[in-house]
Structure 1
Amino acid sequence: MTEPMHAEPQWLPHVLVLDDDESIRQLVGDYLGANELRVTAVASGRALDEAMGRDAIDLVVLDLRLPGEDGLQIARRLREASAIPILMLTGRVDEADRVMGLELGADDYLTKPFSPRELLARIRALLRRARTQATVADAIARVRAYRFGGWELNVGLRKLKSAEGRSVDLTNGEFSLLAAFVSAPQRVLSRDQLLDLSRLHNTEVYDRSIDVQILRLRRKIEPDPAQPRFIKTERGVGYLFDAEVQAVR
């Protein structure tokens, strides 16, 4: 008699929920658990640390208004330690907290009261984005340099050289944006995509600074910054890096 085949156990993304409201922890835990997510729900930053010490966590849902160590402090130290996706829960009137949380490195936010279905959709979107980033990051990690239009960007040394061998100083933000462009040439990139790609190089670039840093980049690499050859604006959409790029591995 043939032995029945046993399916491999299914891997479920592990979501850590931090909220001091027991009813929200119960609601979120039950709903996400019923939709193919593994959930750990805790009520304090200390319990969060203990959970992350025990298990590999794929995403954190974080309430910003907490007693003791607040969500902003927790978001800051989470981002300093890792690139784990963070989804904030905030009140409707807490605009300043939302802005601060995003600037500290949170990836998305949802205002209370919220729809569990929307929470699930946002979590799935962040998990997909994290998987894509991991794939791209792995590819980028194997690249030593990019060459385009006579320029060479050395990724490991974070240095840019012209065709004449002249070194051009770049700020961390400028380097990360240029590295994002050369890793995805001939593609229109939205500001959100540029933010995601720039984070792969361990530099935080904020949405409001992208246009300024692109202007500075053009002044450094374009023959005529007013008529850019490389970094072209796609109005209402984003930017396109218009060059043939060679990756040196």
Structure 2
Amino acid sequence: MYPQPLLLVDDDPELGELLREYLAYEGFELQQALDAEQAWQSLHPAQSHPYALVILDIMLPKQSGLDLLQQLRPSCNVPIIMLTGRGEDIDRILGLELGADDYLSKPCNPRELVARIRAVLRRTQANKPSLVKTGFPQAPLTYGYIHLHPGLREVKVHQQVIELTSAELNVLAYLMQAAGQVLSKEYLTERVLHRELTAYDRAIDVHISRVRQKLHQALATETEVIKTVRGQGYVWVYGLAS
């Protein structure tokens, strides 16, 4: 599953359940707010909301989606896809002018919605200042019982050294350095293998699978350490505060 859920703001519970099931199959968790007030409570304060993206219907009870968008944008940069009525060009224009990242007409095709969600997430993550350091980490990294010392090229679990190949240690270092953030296969291939990712190239997948196996064996548990985010990449999750 994608590490952060999506938020649907729509007053139709049946639509919410339909999209929740479809998006779960595509690797996304979907939560729903039935009106603008619920959405505002979920998204405020902007600095601490847990959502990767908002799907916002324009036609809401009490307060319109456009009003909510205008209220959110000064302090909240969460990506937003607007749902608009067919032929309502003025709503689409206003939504984009007020800061929406994309729009989709209702009733929407779930497959197209997934494609637009992924496109918006790729675009917004590429454009925003990255928290990921591109250089190889220099300082020791510790999460839970796992300790990596880049200078010594050493990884310990429960104070016991575990044997990793050079590529395995490097991919682990990049993931631990960017803990909680999704790193794409393209990014990891370039940093670890020093080449571009090509079609049907599963080298990084193999290295990560071996790292998982060795860490699980050393931890003596199946606790998730590296999460696969379908269509996005990999994210280090072990030892992070819940």
Q: Taking structure 2 as the reference length, what is the TM-score of the superposition?
A: 0.50
| Greater Cα radius of gyration, structure 1 or 2 | 1
TM-score (norm. length: structure 1): 0.48
Q: Which has the higher contact order (CA 8 A, sep 6+)?
A: 2
